[in-house]
């Protein structure tokens, strides 16, 4: 009986995975994408700087922490992408560890195919970082317009500059050091579209600053620790120092607003956060890489199901999101609705990890040649 249940559950998981894998973006040559948004632009005549001291402090810090993407990074570094990919694979024990590929299209793959997969996979990941950074650029520009407080407009303006620089560095790294671009992943695009289309100003923050940037901060952290490539390591260190401030900006701004919302309004925010969490945890599966390798992404579902470390890794990406949602009061509002959902997703264990409203100062790297 237990066995039957186990195999029914496996079948259900496989079905779900195949549905996610079936949605891909093959618009390789597309260069434009528009999203409609109908929101209020907010002028304030209250120019009192520092009325919100924490935001003011963050703004002053952001001004001092600016760096130059062209001159502060060692772009002269030679990058041998193949060697980097091989080193990464060796560090984690090989390309396909403890997985039986029998019955799938990759069963016949040898070292050559796995090496190419590793290279494409790196191109895909950095491409998604690039597109996500543009999402942040656009969202922060929108926050400058829509947020009601002058201290938040000032801070958001520094973040617009930060995000422009992030787009610039990932684009340059892809062009000069890697071997190809990918279009935005279909699921990531859908998430960014929903965030930018919403007309409530706090949803731009919640979607971008708390959810997407919280995930990005964790993902950059993994890559920064793992990679042995010195240019990428340093690039990520600089980007992470900025990102920690960005997440803190979200926490510090929403804390004030969410303290004033009704239970019904908070519940709407919980649902938005939950939907974003599900998408980010389960759906960014390198669909476009499989396609480029000539493999139907749906056909690799059994392999993905066999990799237990995938789930651990996916959960780890929530190490910033969960404590930040807690700090905002989103976990326990509306009878703990979001707490229960995060329990189901298997990520609630991070609730007491450091929240970024407190932690960001320790993540501030010191850009070259600048005083603190």
Q: Which residues bind Fe ion (CB under 5 A)?
A: 133, 136, 163, 166, 213, 243, 246
Residue 267 CB, shortest distance to Fe ion, in Å, is 27
**How far is residue 11's CA from residue 140's CA, in Å, rounded to a whole number?**
42
Q: How far is CA 222 from each of CA 57, 299, 313, rounded to the nearest angstrom?
A: 28, 28, 9
For 166, the token pair is 């992030």
Nearer to Fe ion, 120 or 133 (CB): 133
Residue 17 CB, shortest distance to Fe ion, in Å, is 29
Residue 61 CB, shortest distance to Fe ion, in Å, is 14
Nearer to Fe ion, 85 or 244 (CB): 244
Q: Which of 149, 120, 124, 147 is nearest to 45 (CA)?
A: 149
Kindly write down the DSSP assignment for every residue of 311-329, as one continuous string: HHHHHHTTTTHHHHHHHTT
In 10 A of CB 349, how many CB atoms? 13
> Which residue has tokens 């050559």?
112
Residue 162 CB, shortest distance to Fe ion, in Å, is 6
Q: How far apart are the first and last CA of the chain?
A: 63
Nearer to Fe ion, 254 or 348 (CB): 254
Nearer to Fe ion, 276 or 331 (CB): 276
Helix, strand, coil shares of the chain, percent, nearest 5, are 70, 0, 30
Residues 76 and 182 sit within 8 Å (Cβ to Cβ): no
In the chain, where do the E strands start and end? Answer: none
Nearer to Fe ion, 85 or 325 (CB): 325
Q: Is the dihedral of CA 335, 341, 347, 349 positive or negative?
A: positive
Nearer to Fe ion, 154 or 337 (CB): 154
Kindly write down the DSSP assignment for every residue of 100-167, as one continuous string: --TTSGGGG--HHHHHHHHHHHHHHHHHHHHHHHHHHHHHHHHHHHH---HHHHHHHHHHHHHHHHHH
**DSSP state at residue 72:** S
Residue 55 CB, shortest distance to Fe ion, in Å, is 16
Residue 359 CB, shortest distance to Fe ion, in Å, is 15
CA 216 to chain centre: 3
**How far is residue 204's CA from residue 142's CA, in Å, rounded to a whole number?**
8
Residue 163 CB, shortest distance to Fe ion, in Å, is 5
Nearer to Fe ion, 215 or 334 (CB): 215
Nearer to Fe ion, 65 or 331 (CB): 65
Residue 329 CB, shortest distance to Fe ion, in Å, is 23
Nearer to Fe ion, 163 or 359 (CB): 163
In 10 A of CB 228, how many CB atoms? 11
Residue 213 CB, shortest distance to Fe ion, in Å, is 5
């Amino acid at each position: 009986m237990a066995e039957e249940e186990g195999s029914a559950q496996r079948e259900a998981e496989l079905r779900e995975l195949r549905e996610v894998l079936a949605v891909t973006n093959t618009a390789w040559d597309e260069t434009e994408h528009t999203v409609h948004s109908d929101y209020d632009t907010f002028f304030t005549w209250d120019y009192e700087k520092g009325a919100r001291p924490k935001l003011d402090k963050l703004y002053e810090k952001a001004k001092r922490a600016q760096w130059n993407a062209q001159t502060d990074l060692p772009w002269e570094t030679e990058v041998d992408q193949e060697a980097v990919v091989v080193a990464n694979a060796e560090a984690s024990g090989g390309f396909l560890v403890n997985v039986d590929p029998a019955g799938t299209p990759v069963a016949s793959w040898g070292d050559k195919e796995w090496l190419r997969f590793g290279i494409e996979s790196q191109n895909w990941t950095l491409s998604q970082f690039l597109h996500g950074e543009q999402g942040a650029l656009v969202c922060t520009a929108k926050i400058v317009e829509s947020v009601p407080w002058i201290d938040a407009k000032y801070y958001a303006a520094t973040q617009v500059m930060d995000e422009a620089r992030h787009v610039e560095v990932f684009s340059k790294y892809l062009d000069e050091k890697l071997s190809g671009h990918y279009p935005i992943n279909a699921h990531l695009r859908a998430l960014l579209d929903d965030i930018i289309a919403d007309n409530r100003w706090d949803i731009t923050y919640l979607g971008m600053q708390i959810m997407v940037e919280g995930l990005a901060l964790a993902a950059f952290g993994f890559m920064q620790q793992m990679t042995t490539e010195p240019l990428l390591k340093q690039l990520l260190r600089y980007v992470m120092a900025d990102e920690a401030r960005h997440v803190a900006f979200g926490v510090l701004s929403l804390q004030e607003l969410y303290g004033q919302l009704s239970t019904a309004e908070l519940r709407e925010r919980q649902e938005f956060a939950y939907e974003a969490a599900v998408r980010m945890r389960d759906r960014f599966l390198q669909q476009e890489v499989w396609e480029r390798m000539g493999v139907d992404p749906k056909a690799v579902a059994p392999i993905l199901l066999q990799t237990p470390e995938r789930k651990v890794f996916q959960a780890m990406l929530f190490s910033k999101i969960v404590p930040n949602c807690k700090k905002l009061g989103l976990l326990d509002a509306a009878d703990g609705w979001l707490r229960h959902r995060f329990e189901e997703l298997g990520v609630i264990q991070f609730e007491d990890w450091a929240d970024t409203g407190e932690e960001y100062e320790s993540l501030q790297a010191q850009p070259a040649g600048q005083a603190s």
